[in-house]
């Protein structure tokens, strides 16, 4: 039988935490001069209301007034969806887009009904140009002055609450299960696509056995545990952001893969470098350097230190050992609702790390003709040593796939 969680099953963020986020947002000094805030970005709307949706050409916005009255403004087709799942005070609808009257004018009427006439803030002066949308700025439709506040919410999102960390930890648990299945089913002569499909189906069935009707991915894209190679097989693994090439596995291949699982809107990242058959001396050489780099970077993720210091230590090691031509990208990034969030483990990001920040730690080396070498683990910054949320083996012995 497959392993099942020995810990309590995770649950979604509750309504109280969403309300607390909105209150904290509107109490922030940057919002002092606005009567309300209006949010368009799907991930920010989710962060402030728990409503997960697919953005289309039809505008959808979250409006929060100074007294923390929250209204989700949606097209008619989303009304029942919003009423069932959004943690807000009310849902307001407009007929359709483009329709006889533009949605921005309906939203301007709603703002006036709520006493918002002078000023508003948010993450844009109107809905973004999505799927062919076009329309006037909200400031033009309403006559109110706009103030940019997206940096405030982005800053709030950087430090995760205990409830958020619990969801990322559970995501990591199921990503690890998908990773195990991927490693077990990868064999010489098979194709990456057939293995990935099997893994996703099996891991998702196991998750549903554990959660039943309670599970919700609340994310965009795949809806359960999955692990995939993205074409990073053999020499093609030297392309950090490759796409699936329907490759066939061959003896001696360097393999790089990613494993994920959306968990009530939150994500983790698990990546491993594996070998099909006994690794060569050259493969072991670069694997060992990669492991040293990752250990160095993880140990550097400490509260009070700048994010730049982690990447600087990695780059110094790379330069010292003559590996600079094999370097391609920064050391990592925050993660949570979005797969990539700030701050970044990069020499250009001097944000001080704080307890509760999550990071993927993934320094890589890429050798043309041989392959890529990259592990990624999701860790949380604490008041002491960084804590792993992912837990899959990292040593070369347990990541070598035997030939049949």
CATH number of the domain at 254, please.
3.90.230.10
Q: What is the pLDDT of residues 146-205, one digit of tens each?
A: 999 999 999 999 999 999 999 999 999 999 999 999 999 999 999 999 999 999 999 999
* The predicted structure's pLDDT at residue 6: 63
The mean per-residue pLDDT over the stretch 305-312 comes to 98
Token pair belonging to 276: 């099909």
Does residue 53 sit in the same domain as residue 73?
A: yes
Q: End of a domain among 124, 156, 188?
A: 156
pLDDT average, residue stretch 262-276: 98
Task: State mean pLDDT over 34-49.
Answer: 98
At residue 401, does pLDDT exceed 60?
Answer: yes
Q: What percent of the chain has pLDDT over 90?
A: 95
d(CA 330, CA 313): 11
pLDDT in tens, 106-159: 999 999 999 999 999 999 999 999 999 999 999 999 999 999 999 999 999 999
**Mean pLDDT value across the chain:** 96
| Domain co-membership, 47 together with 149 | yes
Sheet (strand 377-380) strand order: 341-345, 332-334, 358-361, 377-380, 387-388
Polymer length of the chain: 404
* CATH for 37: 3.40.350.10
Residue 153: the pLDDT is 97
**Long-range contacts made by residues 310-314, C-beta under 8 angstroms, separation at least 24?**
310/345, 310/361, 311/345, 311/346, 311/347, 311/349, 312/347, 314/363
Same domain, 69 and 136: yes
Residue 1 pLDDT greater than 50, yes or no: no
307 — pLDDT class (breaks 50, 70, 90): very high
What is the average pLDDT across 398-404?
95
pLDDT average, residue stretch 343-347 = 98
Structural domain harbouring 85:
15-156
Show which of 127, 156, 185 is a domain's final residue: 156
Do residue 132 and residue 240 come from a single domain? no
> Is 230 found in the same domain as 114?
no
Per the structure, how many domains does the chain have? 2
Q: Are residues 177 and 128 in the same domain?
A: no
CA distance 100 to 304: 55
């Amino acid at each position: 039988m497959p392993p099942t969680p020995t810990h309590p099953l995770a649950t979604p963020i509750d309504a109280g935490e969403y309300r607390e986020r909105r209150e904290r947002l509107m109490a922030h000094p940057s919002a002092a001069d606005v009567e309300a805030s209006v949010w368009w970005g799907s991930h920010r709307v989710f962060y402030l209301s728990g409503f997960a949706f697919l953005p289309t050409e039809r505008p959808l916005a979250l409006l929060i007034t100074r007294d923390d009255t929250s209204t989700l403004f949606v097209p008619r087709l989303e009304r029942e969806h919003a009423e069932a799942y959004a943690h807000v005070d009310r849902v307001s609808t407009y007929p359709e887009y483009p329709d006889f009257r533009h949605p921005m004018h309906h939203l301007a009427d709603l703002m006036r009904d709520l006493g918002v006439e002078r000023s508003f803030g948010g993450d844009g002066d109107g809905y973004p140009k999505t799927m062919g949308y076009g329309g006037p700025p909200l400031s033009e439709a309403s006559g109110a002055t706009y103030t940019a506040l997206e940096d405030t919410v982005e800053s709030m999102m950087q430090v995760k609450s205990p409830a958020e960390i619990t969801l990322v930890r559970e995501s990591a648990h199921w990503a690890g299960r998908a990773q195990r299945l991927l490693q077990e089913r990868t064999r010489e002569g098979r194709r990456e696509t057939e293995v990935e499909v099997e893994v996703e189906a099996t891991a998702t069935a196991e998750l549903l056995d554990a959660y039943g009707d309670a599970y919700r991915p609340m994310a965009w894209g795949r809806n359960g545990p999955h692990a995939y190679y993205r074409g990073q097989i053999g020499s093609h693994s030297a392309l950090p952001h490759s796409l699936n090439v329907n490759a066939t596995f061959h003896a001696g291949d360097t393999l790089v893969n990613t494993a994920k699982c959306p968990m009530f809107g939150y994500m983790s990242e698990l990546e491993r470098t594996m070998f099909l058959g006994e690794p060569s001396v050259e493969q072991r050489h670069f694997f060992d350097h990669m492991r040293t780099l990752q250990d160095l970077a993880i140990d550097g993720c400490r509260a009070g230190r700048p994010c730049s210091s982690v990447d600087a230590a990695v780059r110094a090691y790379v330069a010292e050992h003559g590996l600079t031509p094999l370097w391609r990208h920064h050391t990592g990034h925050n993660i949570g609702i979005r797969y990539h969030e700030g701050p970044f483990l990069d020499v250009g990001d001097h944000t001080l790390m704080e307890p509760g920040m999550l990071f993927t730690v993934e320094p890589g080396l890429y050798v043309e003709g041989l392959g890529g070498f990259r592990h990624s683990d999701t860790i949380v910054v604490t008041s002491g040593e960084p804590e792993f949320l992912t837990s899959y083996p990292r040593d070369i012995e347990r990541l070598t796939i035997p030939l049949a």
